[in-house]
Amino acid sequence: MSEEILKKLKHLIAAGIGDTRRLRDMLDTVKRGEPLVLSDFKYIEELTTVKTEQQDKSASPTPKLANMDESLSLLRIRLAEGSITIEEFRELKKAITED
């Protein structure tokens, strides 16, 4: 269960959906092995539902754009986890988005 929550939290942070500070606090809580309070769990579920509905409504992007979006999402996750610095993020983002 906690792996699923971690995955949802990372994706929400990467996508910029919801209150990033609150989501990061929840991410830290789950990483420490502590349970989330019910209101936090409901918040995650609501955000995940909204994200899914938005994706269903939007047209599917071209394969190149989809790959770029996925790459940027992964970079945001790595930044949120502290795996890369903000400078590294900016450099990698620039390299990904150049045509």
Domain membership of residue 84 as a residue range: 60-99
* Residue 7, token pair as written in the block: 């995955």
37 and 65 in a single domain? The answer is no
Mean pLDDT for the chain overall:
80
Is the pTM higher than 0.85? no
71 and 38 in a single domain? The answer is no
Res 66: pLDDT: 59
List the alpha helices (DSSP H) in 16-82: 20-31, 38-57, 63-81
Q: What total of structural domains would you count in the chain?
A: 2
4-11 average pLDDT score: 88
46 and 64 in a single domain? The answer is no
